[in-house]
Structure 1
Amino acid sequence: MTTLSYAARDARTMLRRNLRHALRYPAMTISVVAMPVLMLLLFTCVFGGALGSGIGGTAIGGTTGGDSGAYIDYVAPGIILMAATSGSLAAAVGVCVDMTEGIVNRFRTMAISRASFLTGHVVGSVLQTLVSIAFVIAVALLMGFRPHATPLGWLAAAGLLTLLTLALTWLAAAIGLVARSPETASNIPLPMQFLPFLGSAIVPPESMPTGLRWFAEYQPFTPVIETLRGLLMGTGAGAATAITAVAWCVALTLTGYLWARTAFRRSANR
C-alpha cells in the first residue's frame, strides 16, 4: 500500500469512530438539529404574518408577500443555511473534547496518519450536518415550504450547502483545537451561527438601517443565502451573486483548513 492509501484507511477508521460516537451520544446532534427547527417554527408560525406583511409587495417564491404562507418561502432557505452553521458547534466541541481528554496524545504514539484525526472529524461532522439539513428541509416542506427548483437546481443547492458546511466545519475544527475547554469551544462559534440574522435570512437588507444594510449586503452569508434562495425557488440569484457565494465558501474553507493544520502542529509541540 502507498502512503496515500494508508492515510485514507486511517481517515476511514477515524470517521467510523466519530460516527459511532455520535450515535452513542446523540444529545449534541439533537440540540444542533433542534435549533434551526425552532427558528423555523418561531419565524413562520409566530412572526410570519407580521414579517410577511412588513415585506409585502415583495415577490416571495413567486407569490406576493403579506402572509406567513408566502413568508415561509422566503425564510426557509435562510433557516436551512442556519442548520449548516449550527453543525459547526458540534464539530468544535468534538475536536476540543478529544484534545483536552488526551486521546490525541495517544493517537500520536500510534502508527497512524496524523492527518486522519482532523479528516475523520471534519468528514464525520459534514455528514452529520448534511443529515440535519435534510431533516430541516423535510420539516419546512411539512410546514408549507414550496420550492420550485428543477433537479439541476436541487443538485446545485446541495453542492452549495455541502461546500458551505465543509468551510464552516474546518473553521470549527480550528476553533476546537485552540479552545481551552469544551465550554469555550461551544461558545466561540455562536456569533457565526447568528450571523445569518444580520444578512438576508429573515428580512431583505433593503428594509434595514443604512449601516446595518451595508453590513448585511457585504457579509459572507448574504450571497450564499441569496444564491440558495434563487436555486430553491427557481428564480435565480444572478451569476455575480453565485460566484461571490462560492468564492466566500472556498476562502473560508482554505482559511479554516490552514488554521486547523497549523494549530494541530503547534499542539504537538506543547
Structure 2
Amino acid sequence: MSSSLSLAVRDSSTMLRRNLLHARRYPSLTLNLLLTPVMLLLLFVYVFGDTMSAGIGGGAPDRSEYIAYIVPGLLLMTIGSTVVGTAVSVSNDMTEGIIARFRTMAIHRGSVLVGHVLGSVLQSVLSVVLVGLVAVAIGFRSADATVLEWFAAFGLLVLFATALTWVAVGMGLISPNAEAASNNAMPMILLPLLSSAFVPVHAMPGWIRPVAEYQPFSPAIETLRGLLLGSGIGHNGWLAVAWCLGLAVLGYFWSASTFHRDPK
C-alpha cells in the first residue's frame, strides 16, 4: 500500500514538472487565455465603468464601486479561461501519442491526469494573482475583509479551479483534436458572461435570469463578493461549495473512466 502510494506521488510529481515545463516553453496559449479577463477588466472599468456604476448604484457614477463589483467575477472568469488551455493540452497529448507512450511505461496510470490537474490549478492560481494585481493597480480595494475571509476566498478559488480543471480534462480526453477541445471548453468562458459577474441577476431580462441563477459561476461570484467586500452571502456559500464538489467528482470519474477506456 505504501509503495503504491509513493509510486503515485512520485509519478504525479514528475508529470506535474513535465506540464509546468511545457507551459513555460509554450506560453502563448496561457497568455492568450489570460489576456481575455485582463482586457475585459480594463474595458468594463474605463469604457463602461461610469455608466455601469450609475446603473448599479442608482446614483452618481463611481468607478471604484464598479471595480469592486466586477473583480470577483473576473477572478473566476480567469479560472475558466485558464482551464481551456488544460483541455487543449490533454487533447494534444492524446492525439500526438504521448499518452500512448506513457501507457507502455512502468508508471502509475493516474499520475498522467493528476499531473495535468495539479499543473492547471497552479497556473489558475498564478493567473488569478496576476489579474488581482492588475485590479489593485487600477483601484480595487478590500479593506473590510479579515484574514480568515481572505483565506476562505483563496480556498474557494482553489476549489473552483480544481472542479473546472477535472471537467476540462474530461473534455480534452473526448476531443479528437486541439480545436475541438477548445470549442468544447468554451462554456468555461461563456458562462461567466451570463452570470452575475458584470450586472446583478435581478437586472437581467426574465428569459435569461434562470441561466444566470442556476449555474456554478453566480453563487461562487456572490460568495467571493461577500468574503472580499462584506456583502451578504446568504445561501450562495453552500451552493458554491456544492457546485464545486459536484463538478469535481463528476469530472474526476468522467476523466478516469474515459482515460482507462480509451485504447489510444
Give yes or no for contact 1:40–1:79 (8 Å, CA) kept in 2: yes
Deviations 1:5-64 (A, max 9, x none): 11110000000111111111111111121111011011111111111112223xxxxxx7
Match of 2:48 in 1: 47
AA paired with 2:86? A
Match of 2:214 in 1: 218
The alpha-carbon deviation at position 65 of structure 1 amounts to 7.0
Give yes or no for contact 1:44–1:72 (8 Å, CA) kept in 2: yes
Match of 1:230 in 2: 226
CA distance in 1, matches of 2:240, 2:150: 16
Write out aligned runs for 1:98-113 (5 A): 98-113=93-108
Unaligned runs of at least 5 residues, structure 1 = 58-63
Deviations 1:217-261 (A, max 9, x none): 2222111000001111123412x2100110001001011111101
Moved more, 187-196 or 154-163: 187-196
CA distance in 2, matches of 1:197, 1:68: 20
1:77 aligns with 2:72: yes
AA paired with 2:3? T
Write out aligned runs for 1:136-155 (5 A): 136-147=131-142, 148-155=144-151
Runs of 4+ in 1 over 2 A off after TM superposition: 64-67
**TM-score, with normalisation over the residues of structure 1?**
0.94
Give yes or no for contact 1:172–1:189 (8 Å, CA) kept in 2: yes
Name the Cα RMSD after superposition. Answer: 1.3
Percent identical residues: 52
CA distance in 1, matches of 2:214, 2:98: 41
1:242 aligns with 2:262: no
3-state SS of paired residue (2:140):
coil
Match of 1:61 in 2: none
Match of 2:37 in 1: 36
The alpha-carbon deviation at position 88 of structure 1 amounts to 1.1
1:203 aligns with 2:204: no
Unaligned runs of at least 5 residues, structure 2 = none
Q: May I ask how many residue pairs the two structures share in their alignment?
A: 262
Give yes or no for contact 2:84–2:188 (8 Å, CA) kept in 1: no
Match of 1:20 in 2: 21
AA paired with 2:229? M
The alpha-carbon deviation at position 85 of structure 1 amounts to 0.5
Match of 1:164 in 2: 160
CA distance in 1, matches of 2:10, 2:245: 26
Give yes or no for contact 1:77–1:228 (8 Å, CA) kept in 2: yes
**TM-score, with normalisation over the residues of structure 2?**
0.96
Deviations 1:95-132 (A, max 9, x none): 01110000111111110000000000010011011100
Give yes or no for contact 1:55–1:66 (8 Å, CA) kept in 2: no
Match of 1:60 in 2: none
CA distance in 1, matches of 2:187, 2:214: 16
AA paired with 1:4? L
Deviations 1:112-156 (A, max 9, x none): 000000000010011011100000000000010111311111100
Match of 2:112 in 1: 117
CA distance in 1, matches of 2:34, 2:90: 19
